[in-house]
Amino acid sequence: MKARAFPSTHLLPQAPAMAPKVGFWQRLVMRRAGRRSAATTPPDAQGHHPATLALAAEVARVEAEIHTALVMTVESLDRTIARSETQIRLLSARLVETTVPQVEDPAESMTATKQDAIRVQQTKAQEALARRAAAQHKLDEVKGQVAELSERREHLHTTAAGILASWVARFEALSAHHRSGFIRGLTRRFPAPVLSIQDPKNLPMPNYRARHAWAGGEQLPVTITQVRPTEQPTLTWSHLQWEL
């Protein structure tokens, strides 16, 4: 009977679910398989029997599915980060380009024309300050979004590693039950076992080695290094002010 897996996580919904718990029937089936192996099949150099090799193949399939889901999700996230970083460069350049003119206050001794000209300059200076403030606000906002996306990228890898770890733990638990049944079959007195192993308790335990570096804490390389010109956002000061 196939055990029911736990629901998938919201970070990697396309990945396999967490491994199901090892229940009574799964333990019993593996112990019986171990006793049958004691009558027919010695373990290989890694301590595997056909039953544990099948378990390892199942974990390998799960790891491949996790990897596919992780790559797809990370690539989508990297595209978003790349667009945001392009936006940061554009906003930073606008901040450098934006200058606020210095103007003097109109005085009563000035002519009306001169006073009006200075007021126009003051209005332009205030508009420049407003544009700079809007750009700085947007820049801080986008930088915050990039930081959140980068943190989410890290969590995606942690989630993938956690899912795989649950399946590896299940493999180890079932392999241990299989080994328990195997040793019991070898040490029984009646009927006498077919196989003869001098020290069965010192046989190597089968283990599963992950194929991908993210299982050990590493992250996938950045998949998107730049945004194509057609994908770059068009920024205008009116657009920035409207968003704010």
Distance from the Cα of residue 55 to its chain's centroid: 25
Question: What number of residues does the chain have?
Answer: 244
Place of tokens 């980068």: 150
Residue-level pLDDT at 107: 63
Distances (CA, A) of 237 to 91, 96, 137, 145: 10, 14, 12, 20
Residue-level pLDDT at 137: 92
Element (H, E) at 191: none
Q: 134-187, pLDDT tens digit by residue?
A: 889 999 999 999 999 999 999 999 999 999 999 999 999 999 999 999 888 887
What CA–CA distance (Å, rounded) separates 52 from 32?
A: 13
Residue-level pLDDT at 238: 30
Distances (CA, A) of 63 to 12, 21, 66, 74, 197: 13, 18, 5, 16, 34
Residue-level pLDDT at 3: 42
Question: Are 135 and 98 in contact, with CB atoms under 8 Å apart?
Answer: yes
108 CB-near residues (< 8 Å, 6+ apart): none
Other C-beta atoms lying within 10 Å of the C-beta of residue 52? 29
Q: Which residues of the chain have pLDDT under 70?
A: 1-10, 101, 103-109, 189-196, 223-244
Residue-level pLDDT at 5: 47
